[in-house]
Copies of this chain bind each other. A is one copy, B any other.
Amino acid sequence: MRERAHSLKKSPLFDIINNMEFLFEILKKDDRSKARKGRLRTNHGIVNTPAFMPVGTNATVKAITNEELAEIGAEIILNNTYHLYLRPGTDIIGSFGGTHDFMNWHKPVLTDSGGFQVFSLSSLRKIREDGVEFRSHIDGTKHHFTPEKVIEIQETINSDIMMVLDICPPYPAPREEVEEAVRLSGQWAARALRARVKDNALFAIAQGGVFPDLREKAVTELSEMDFDGLALGGFSVGEPPDAMYESLQRLKDILPAGKPHYLMGIGTPLDILEAVECGIDMFDCVIPTRNGRNGMAFTSSGTLSLGNARHTDEHIPLDTGCSCRVCSSYSRAYIRHLLKAKEILGSRLMSYHNLFFFNSLMSRIRLSIEEGRFMEFKDDFIKCYTGGDNV
């Protein structure tokens, strides 16, 4: 029963070549902004940055196969510690030697720590100095996460980039609560760092809500510790739309220059462009897949809603300028029909196209930085995206 179903698919060389120390190289910096083009070297291969990481919470990017992810050009995906710990359970993934063999994805994986999910999904959570107690959103069973335990789980999942357990206060939250979250998250980060026994990379998460001084304190403190990268957490939790942009403008000069910067859970194409300008290297967000399943297609001239009756008999593809497999083969009329009939293929085609769009946006961002024209690219993209007749 322990025979590997897919052991034949991986060459032994694969592990040897890829099992290298985590490294972040900056290949090109933009003159007119903080944007930079770089490269992450992980245990399972290279990730070019700025990168968008498709979200595969339950060890699957919803509706999409790994072959399709590779075809789209995804170089790294997310898994979620909270979800995988609860189901199928760390022991099952451990029996496969980690998530790569479990889900048959042999490129880099980043695991979110579960901090955000404990606060957004589970009930009856109790934060204590040593960790957080919570009830499973699946079956109500009681569990306890500590910074150390979350590292142990992620080392079993064997993600290439692990995240520390953090406390993500809701919005709005009183200053005292956010201050306490920053204090305790900082202590937990230090404990997570000491708990690591394997060579998987580990990123810290700076919280601080919409309080500039708390954000700065968190970033400064965590930058001084020996993490492989720094993430900004707790954005897009309900705060006013401009609050994040203002925060990024304030933080851009104090982010640790030589380390990768990851903006968690963000965002729209416009968010990504603003954040890249402030030096962000990594993104993840469910909108290409979740919004896709709900009928929203991302195109170079803005989003379009397939629920809109005007698409009923349109023979053109989702995005006339897109070269993806979906846009080469299927009409808006057909995809709208699939979505109206709640057919799985509708979710598949929308998710595929949207992930292709996001990945293509990142490629174009990287190229524009490489060629020293990121700000022009950003302006042109926004002009087309917000001025398009789809909006």
Which residues of A line the B interface, CB within 8 A? 1-6, 8-9, 58-60, 62-65, 83, 87-88, 91-92, 95-96, 102-104, 312-317, 327-334, 336-338, 340-341, 343-345, 347-348
Inter-chain CA distance A250–B208, complex, in Å, is: 79
What are 20 A-to-B residue pairs whose CB atoms are below 8 Å? A1-B314, A1-B315, A3-B315, A3-B316, A5-B327, A5-B328, A5-B330, A8-B328, A58-B338, A58-B343, A63-B345, A64-B345, A65-B345, A87-B337, A88-B340, A92-B337, A103-B334, A104-B330, A104-B334, A344-B348
Q: A32 to nearest B CB, angstroms? A: 39
Report chain B residues within 8 Å CB of A1: 313-316
Minimum Cβ distance to chain B for residue A307 (Å): 14
- The interface residues of chain B lying within 8 Å CB-to-CB of A316 are 1, 3, 5
Give Cα A83 to B83, complex, Å. Answer: 38
B contact residues around A63 at 8 Å (CB): 344-345, 348
Q: Which residues of B contact A3 (CB under 8 A)?
A: 315-316
Q: Give the chain B neighbours of A334 by CB distance below 8 A.
A: 59, 102-104
CB <8 Å contact, A345 and B60: yes
A88, B6: Cβ atoms under 8 Å?
no
Please give, as numbers and ranges, the residues of chain B lying within 8 Å of A4 by CB-CB distance: 315, 331
Complex Cα spacing A199 to B95, Å: 59
Give the shortest distance, in Å, between A18 (CB) and chain B (any CB): 19
Closest Cβ–Cβ distance, residue A389 to chain B (whole Å):
13
> Cβ of A317 and Cβ of B5 under 8 Å apart?
yes
| A333-B93 Cα distance, complex, nearest whole Å | 9
CA distance A3 to B314 in the complex (A): 8
CA gap between A317 and B5 in the complex, in Å: 6
- In the complex formed, the residue of B with least CB distance to A332 is B5
Q: Which residues on B sit within 8 Å (CB–CB) of A332?
A: 5
In the complex, the answer to whether A5 meets B331 with C-beta atoms within 8 Å is: yes
Q: Given B9, B102, B343, which contacts A333 in the complex, CB threshold below 8 Å?
A: B102
Q: A103-B334, A347-B344 are in contact. Are A9 and B328 (CB under 8 A)?
A: yes
Among the listed B6, B83, B91, B331, which residue makes an inter-chain contact with A331, where contact means beta carbons less than 8 Å apart?
B6
List residues of chain B with CB within 8 A of the CB of A2: 315
Complex contacts, A92 vs chain B, CB 8 Å: 312-313, 333, 337
Per the bound structure, the CA–CA distance linking A224 and B331 in Å amounts to 43
A343, B17: Cα distance in complex, Å: 33
**Docked-complex contact A6 and B328, CB < 8 angstroms:** yes
What residues on B are CB-neighbors of A62 within 8 Å? 343-345
Which residues from B are CB-within-8-Å of A87? 337, 340-341
Q: Which 8 A-B pairs have the closest CB atoms?
A: A63-B344, A88-B337, A5-B331, A58-B341, A60-B345, A5-B317, A104-B329, A60-B343
